[in-house]
Structure 1
Amino acid sequence: MTHTILIEQVALPDPMVLKVIETHVAQMQSQSPEESCHVMPADTLFREGATVYSAKINGQVLGVGAFKPIEGKHGELKSMHTLAAARGRGVGRAMLARLMADAKASGLDRLSLETGSDDHFASARKIYEDAGFTYCRPFAGYKEDPFSVFMTCRL
């Protein structure tokens, strides 16, 4: 069955987007020690100037993603999450492609990210690798951490 994934920028948090972000926050907090968990709740994402997106299929929000400027033309990818029921349908890849395109259009020339190092995060790391992200040192105040990996990509 074919489906169209609609990626839209979210100006204000709507309840469906908030629910996916809350699911993401809860999952990240359950998989990482507190000192190694860098997930941002929705209010922090918006307060820190992140550009937030939703991914919908047939009007249902199945994923979220965001990027925020860090310094100069460097941005950070934040809160990439696809609901478990929608995984394997291309939501994450479609979201990442849109985030990268819009980050570049906004004037950024590099995106970096922090994600988990254990097996729970292997599929996410594969999506990032396939999109051209390479492993790097911590950035923007992050510290070396056995529970984290850092990746970056020139846009």
Structure 2
Amino acid sequence: MLIGALLILTWLVLLLRYPAKALPISLAAVFGLGLVALWVVWQDNRESSQLARLDLRLSYAPDQCPADRPLRVQMKNGNDVPLQNVRWRVAAYAPGDSVNLSENTYSAPRYRGPELQPGADWSECVPLPPLRSGYRPQSLEFRAEQLQGSFAN
């Protein structure tokens, strides 16, 4: 913090003392920082739109999955580039309600997907997250939230 304040103070002194030399350099630095900021925003928007084209569905399917992993995950990569990795959290909601009934504790399972080629499908059975007491998984809707992932360039 002290170093940053010292740098800003030094820059202001140089700008006031030698404006003919410091002003063009300052404008070039601001332009460079602007380009870096635009590139970061563009990358973030690109990743968000790619994650939005990833079709991820969760369903409680004890008849199709083993007893210790009753949650069925189905994913389709709707992008034109390969998916390298993806992570998400599972949220459970009562129909028509907006309160997350899953407990995100430290011991909760971590959900990850595979590498997936464009247009490819993936299906897997995963364990349920810990639910608040009094709720049965048969009566809940499960959703993937906080999607994070990366795609090939």
Instruction: Please indicate, yes or no, whether the TM-score normalized by the shorter chain is above 0.5.
Output: no
- TM-score w.r.t. length of structure 1: 0.23
RCO higher in 1 or 2 (8 Å CA, sep ≥ 6)?
A: 2
**Higher radius of gyration, 1 or 2:** 2
- TM-score w.r.t. length of structure 2: 0.23
